[in-house]
Structure 1
C-alpha cells in the first residue's frame, strides 16, 4: 500500500482534520503494535505497509509483556499528547482497521494469534477471520 493511500484511509476513518493528525496516530499505534508481533508475521505485515510505517513496525517501542486491549489503548493515549482513552480508542481503531485491510484475512488471522484476546475488535474485525 502506498504512503498517501494509507494515510488518506487513516484520515478518513479517524475523521482527522489533517494528514498530520492521522500520521501521528499511525506512528504511535504501529510502534506499539510492533512490540507485540514477532517473526514472519511482523515482517510480512511490514511488507504490506508504506516503507516509513513498515520501519516503525519493525523497530517498535519495547514492551515488557503483551498488553491486553485496554492497556494497549491506555498506552496509546499516553503517547499521544492531549489524548484521552476514548480518543485513543478511536485512533487505534482507525489505524488498525486500515492495517487489517492491507494485511488481508490470512495474515490478519496469524497476527491475531500473536495478540491477546479482543484485538479483533480493534482491527475492526469482530468475528474471527
Structure 2
C-alpha cells in the first residue's frame, strides 16, 4: 500500500458503511489520524464518489444492501485507475477474509475497529 506521508498532506479516505454508528466510529478514528473522510452508504454511492474524488484509500464494509463491499471492489477494480486504489474491507465475520481478498481487497479488518487498527492501516504505506 502506498499512501502519502503526513508531510505530503492528508489522505482522502472513502468510507463505505451502511450502519450510522459504524460510520461515526470509523470516520472519527480516521479523522483523528489526520484523514479527510467522505462517506457512502453502499457500493453504488461509493463508485460515484470515487469517480468524483479519486480517493487514495477506500475502507468498505463487506456486507451492505444494494451493492456490497465485494461487488463494489470488483466494480472499482474494473474502472480506469481503480486498480491502484488501496481497498480494505471491514467485517465482524472473520469467514469473510478469503472472500474479501478474492474480490480484490488488500486486507480485512475486524469490526469493531480500534484506534490501533486504523493507525496500523495508515502506517502500512
Q: Which has the higher contact order (CA 8 A, sep 6+)?
A: 1
- Please say whether Structure 1 and Structure 2 have the same fold, judged by a TM-score greater than 0.5: no
Q: How would you bin the TM-score normalised by the shorter chain? A: 0.3 to 0.5
Please state which structure has a larger fraction of its residues in strand: 2
Q: What TM-score comes out, normalization by structure 2 length?
A: 0.39
Q: Which has the higher helix share?
A: 1
